[in-house]
Chains A and B, each alone.
Chain A
Amino acid sequence: MDASTQQMTNLDFLQSFTGNNPVKMEKYISIFLEIAPPEEELLRKNLELKDWDGVRATAHSMRPQMTYMGIKSGEMLLDTIEKNAESGTALEKMPEHIGDFNKIFNLACGELKAYLEKLKS
């Protein structure tokens, strides 16, 4: 299925967690949009350097936030990336996995930015 046509985020959990409070929703989405992009960049940088422990650590630390923003496909990819980087298996597929993750991540960030705009207006 083409990732560009799918909805990447599912904010059901965040809405339930915040009790649909728009101020809190804005707070958590803003924190995500502030801290996740540099981490995603670090993931790609670690891949370039073939720093597999760095890849593992970055994927590991990004995973919970993917869960809270309902980015299920991104969370699953990070899980695979983390496990493969840790065990040193299927490393040849790492660029593909991280590339796929990058696409999902960018789409998810776009959705979250649009949601933020909607909240603010």
Chain B
Amino acid sequence: MTEIKTVFIVDDDQAQSAMVADYLSKFKNITIKVFTSGEECLKNLSLNPQIIFLDYSFDKVGKNAMNGVQILKEIKKGNAAIEVVMFSAQDKIEVAVNTMKYGAFDYIVKNESSFHRSENVILNIIRKLKLENNLKTYKRLAICFGIAFVGMLISFVILWSNGMITDNPGWF
């Protein structure tokens, strides 16, 4: 499936969520759902989001709130096919690497270019899904050709063993 139907934005920053949701509303076929905590996001995974934009820290939710990496791990445990894109105001490379290690698709620093980057990430995920789909089709085709080839080979052996194929077919 290459079509993205549902995207979650999970951020305790109301303004950031509103701006990202507005920017991504240009994707007319995508339903965008906004959640303010990781716990809320996890409860709604049954809505089958294909992409989740997830904040790295949820300090506003409370000191006991799950952080971005904990939520990322839970999402991936539930459905590894969901692409998670981390959002953070931190531009530290080690933070980005850490999130990628747990399966994040990308890491976006919250700044003026983060909205454009979010759009690009969606386009990249669509491209990736198309490539995966094409790969599946090619694999199926390769299997079909393989089966056909083996079938032809078996037919040839049977015909040959029954003397129906000779060195001199008598055409000349």
Contact = CB atoms under 8 A, between A and B. Distances in A.
Interface stretch (B1-9, B13-21, B128-136): B13-21
A64 B59 contact: no
A28 B23 CA distance: 13
Interface in B57-112: 57, 59-60, 89-90, 110-112
Contacts of A63: 89, 110
Given A13-B112, A17-B115, A63-B89, A35 B59 contact: no
A68 B19 contact: yes
B40 interface: no
A102 interface: no
Given A17-B19, A24-B22, A60-B89, A68 B112 contact: yes
A65 interface: yes
A65 B18 CA distance: 12
Interface residues of A, number: 17
Nearest to B116: A17
A57 B61 CA distance: 11
A31 interface: yes
Contacts of A32: 15
A31 B13 CA distance: 10
Which A-B residue pairs are the 8 nearest by beta carbons? A57-B59, A64-B110, A31-B15, A63-B89, A13-B112, A64-B89, A65-B15, A67-B111
8 contacts: A17-B112, A17-B115, A35-B13, A61-B57, A61-B60, A63-B89, A67-B112, A68-B112
Given A35-B13, A63-B110, 13 more contacts: A13-B112, A17-B23, A17-B112, A17-B115, A27-B18, A31-B15, A31-B18, A35-B15, A60-B57, A60-B59, A60-B90, A61-B59, A64-B110
